[in-house]
């Protein structure tokens, strides 16, 4: 199980979902990077950017 979990944490989908969740949950002041994988960092940032976009839409709907 630990090999599967370790593998999952390295995937770009996991990075994207982490960025999406963490930006939605904790806001702009939170983030992380992968020391060795720039693609992982870009996937994380894409998820965070989509969270920002979604939050802007939801704020517009609420007003």
Residue 34 has a pLDDT of 85
Enter the pTM of the model: 0.82
User: Alpha helix locations (H) across the chain?
Assistant: 2-9, 12-26, 38-62
Per-residue tokens: 10? 């390295």
Please state the rounded mean pLDDT for residues 14-37.
89
Please state the rounded mean pLDDT for residues 17-29.
90
Domain boundaries, the chain: 2-62
| Nearest Cα residue to 47 out of 9, 19, 28, 23 | 19
Structure confidence by residue, pLDDT tens digits, 39-60: 999 999 999 999 999 988 888 8
Percent of the chain at pLDDT > 70 equals 97
Is the pLDDT reported for residue 10 higher than 70? yes
């Amino acid at each position: 199980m630990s090999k599967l979990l370790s593998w999952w944490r390295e995937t770009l989908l996991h990075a994207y979902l982490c960025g999406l969740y963490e930006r939605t949950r904790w806001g702009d002041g939170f983030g992380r990077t992968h020391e060795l994988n720039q693609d992982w960092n870009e996937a994380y940032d894409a998820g965070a950017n989509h969270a920002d976009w979604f939050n802007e839409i939801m704020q517009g709907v609420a007003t």
